[in-house]
C-alpha cells in the first residue's frame, strides 16, 4: 500500500495498493505521519489477505496472526521484542506513542473475516464501510490526540462515503469472484441481477439507477462529513483529506451517467495529487 522505502526504510514499498490514501497521508506532519503510515500499511496487509490466498482457511490463519499480534501489542506487559515484521514493529511504535484503541484494530480485522461482500440491505453495506474504513479514520484521529464525539461523527460519515465508493469502484473488477457488493434490496427494487451489474452495459438503465442510488448514499455521507468538519480540531483536519478523493470520483461518476466501466473512470485521476494538495492548502475538503 503506502510506506515507501524512501521515507521509512523499515517498511515495504506497498503504496501501489493504496496510492490515494498514501498521497493524503504524506501531507500529515511527523510524528503523526509515521504512525498514520503504519496504520495504513496494517490495513492494506489485512485487506489483501482474502484476495491473495486460494484457501479461505489460510486466509483466516493469517488474519488470526494479526489478531493475536494486535492483542499482544496492547497488553499491559507489552514486550519489547515483537515479530521481525516491519509493519508490526511500526505498529508497536504507533500504539505505544498514541495509545491507540484496540477495538478499532479488531473491527478492521473482523470486517475482513466476514468480507464476503454479500449485503442484503444498504444498512449492512454501511456497517461494513463503517468497520472497514471509518475505523482507520478513528485511529488516525487518535494519532493526532483527538478523541471527541464531533470528530468521530465526521469520521464515521466520511468512512461510510469512502467505503461505498471503494466498493463501487471494485465492481468492474469483480468478475473473477462472481459477486457484486450491491445490496439485494436495491437489486430487487430495480429488477436487476448481479450478472447485469457485472456486464454494466451503457444502455442498462436499471443498473445505472442502482449505481445512482449507491452514489447518492455515498454523497449524503460525504456532505454530512463536510458539514461536521468545522468542529474537528485544526491539527487533525488533514485526516479528512480522503474526502477530496471521494468527492472527485463521485463527480466523475455523475459526468458519465453512473456508468462504472466508462474508460475515464478506469483511468487514474491525473489531477488528484494537485487537488489533494490544494484542498490541504486551502483547508477545505
Domain ranges of the chain: 18-268
What angle is formed at CA 135 by the lines to CA 130 and CA 139, rounded to 5 degrees?
155
> Does the pLDDT of residue 9 top 50, yes or no?
no
Gyration radius of the chain's alpha carbons: 19
> Does the pLDDT of residue 12 top 70, yes or no?
no
List the single range of 143-157, 188-202, 216-230 with lowest mean pLDDT. Answer: 188-202
Please name the residues in contact with 163: beta carbons below 8 A apart, sequence gap of 6 or more. 126, 128, 129, 130, 132, 133, 134
What 8-state DSSP symbol labels residue 28? Answer: S
**15-35 pLDDT per residue, tens:** 556 889 999 999 999 999 999
**221-249 pLDDT per residue, tens:** 999 999 998 889 998 999 999 999 999 99
Q: Provide the pLDDT for residue 80.
A: 59
> Does the pLDDT of residue 170 top 70, yes or no?
yes
**256-270 pLDDT per residue, tens:** 999 998 989 988 899
- DSSP secondary structure of 53-77: -SSHHHHHHHHHHHHHHHHHHTSTT
Contact between residue 43 and residue 86 where contact means Cβ atoms under 8 Å apart:
no
**pLDDT-derived band of residue 118, with 50, 70 and 90 as boundaries?**
confident
Place of cell 514486550: 79
> Does the pLDDT of residue 84 top 50, yes or no?
yes
**pLDDT-derived band of residue 1, with 50, 70 and 90 as boundaries?**
very low
Q: Provide the pLDDT for residue 112.
A: 87
**pTM for the whole structure:** 0.91
> Does the pLDDT of residue 5 top 70, yes or no?
no
Q: Provide the pLDDT for residue 2.
A: 38
**pLDDT-derived band of residue 78, with 50, 70 and 90 as boundaries?**
low
> Does the pLDDT of residue 7 top 90, yes or no?
no
Q: Measured between alpha carbons, how far is residue 129 from residues 31, 39, 82, 165 in Å?
A: 27, 17, 30, 9
b/e sequence 73-111, b meaning 16+ C-beta within 10 Å: bbeeeeeeeeeeebbbebbbebbeebebbeebbbbbbeb
All three cell numbers of 136: 482507520
All three cell numbers of 216: 447518492
> Does the pLDDT of residue 8 top 60, yes or no?
no
Average pLDDT, the chain: 88
Q: How far apart are the first and last CA of the chain?
A: 23
* Mean pLDDT, residues 70-82: 76
Contact between residue 17 and residue 29 where contact means Cβ atoms under 8 Å apart:
no
Sequence-ordered alpha helix ranges (H) in the chain: 19-26, 32-52, 56-73, 86-98, 102-113, 122-129, 135-143, 149-170, 184-189, 194-199, 205-228, 242-255, 263-266, 272-282
Q: Provide the pLDDT for residue 150.
A: 92
* Mean pLDDT, residues 45-69: 83
* Mean pLDDT, residues 120-138: 96
Contact between residue 43 and residue 136 where contact means Cβ atoms under 8 Å apart:
yes
Q: Give the CATH superfamily of 18-268.
A: Farnesyl Diphosphate Synthase (1.10.600.10)
b/e sequence 114-132, b meaning 16+ C-beta within 10 Å: ebebebeebeebbebbbbb
Q: Provide the pLDDT for residue 83.
A: 79
All three cell numbers of 59: 486466509
**pLDDT-derived band of residue 4, with 50, 70 and 90 as boundaries?**
very low
Amino acid at each position: 500500500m503506502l510506506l515507501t522505502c524512501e521515507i521509512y526504510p523499515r517498511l515495504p514499498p506497498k503504496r501501489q495498493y493504496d496510492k490515494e490514501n498514501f498521497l493524503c497521508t504524506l501531507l500529515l506532519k511527523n510524528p503523526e505521519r509515521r504512525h498514520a503510515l503504519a496504520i495504513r500499511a496494517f490495513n492494506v496487509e489485512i485487506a489483501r489477505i482474502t484476495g491473495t490466498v486460494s484457501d479461505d482457511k489460510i486466509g483466516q490463519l493469517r488474519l488470526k496472526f494479526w489478531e493475536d499480534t494486535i492483542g499482544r501489542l496492547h497488553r499491559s506487559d507489552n514486550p519489547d521484542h515483537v515479530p521481525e515484521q516491519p509493519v508490526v514493529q511500526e505498529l508497536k511504535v504507533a500504539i505505544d506513542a498514541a495509545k491507540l484503541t484496540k477495538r478499532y484494530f479488531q473491527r478492521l480485522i473482523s470486517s475482513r473475516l466476514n468480507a464476503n461482500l454479500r449485503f442484503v440491505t444498504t444498512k449492512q453495506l454501511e456497517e461494513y464501510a463503517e468497520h472497514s474504513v471509518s475505523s482507520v479514520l478513528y485511529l488516525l484521529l487518535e494519532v493526532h490526540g483527538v478523541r471527541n464525539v464531533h470528530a468521530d461523527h465526521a469520521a464515521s460519515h466520511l468512512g461510510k462515503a469512502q467505503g461505498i465508493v471503494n466498493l463501487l469502484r471494485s465492481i468492474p473488477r469483480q468478475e473473477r469472484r462472481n459477486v457484486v457488493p450491491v445490496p439485494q434490496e436495491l437489486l430487487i427494487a430495480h429488477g436487476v441481477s448481479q450478472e447485469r451489474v457485472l456486464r454494466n452495459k451503457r444502455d442498462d438503465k436499471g443498473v445505472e439507477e442502482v449505481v445512482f442510488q449507491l452514489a447518492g448514499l455515498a454523497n449524503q455521507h460525504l456532505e454530512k462529513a463536510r458539514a461536521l468538519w468545522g468542529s474537528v480540531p485544526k491539527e487533525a483536519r488533514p485526516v479528512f483529506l480522503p474526502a477530496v478523493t471521494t468527492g472527485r470520483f463521485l463527480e466523475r461518476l455523475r459526468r458519465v451517467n453512473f456508468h462504472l466501466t466508462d474508460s475515464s473512470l478506469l483511468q487514474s485521476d491525473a489531477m488528484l495529487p494537485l487537488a489533494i494538495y490544494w484542498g490541504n492548502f486551502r483547508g477545505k475538503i
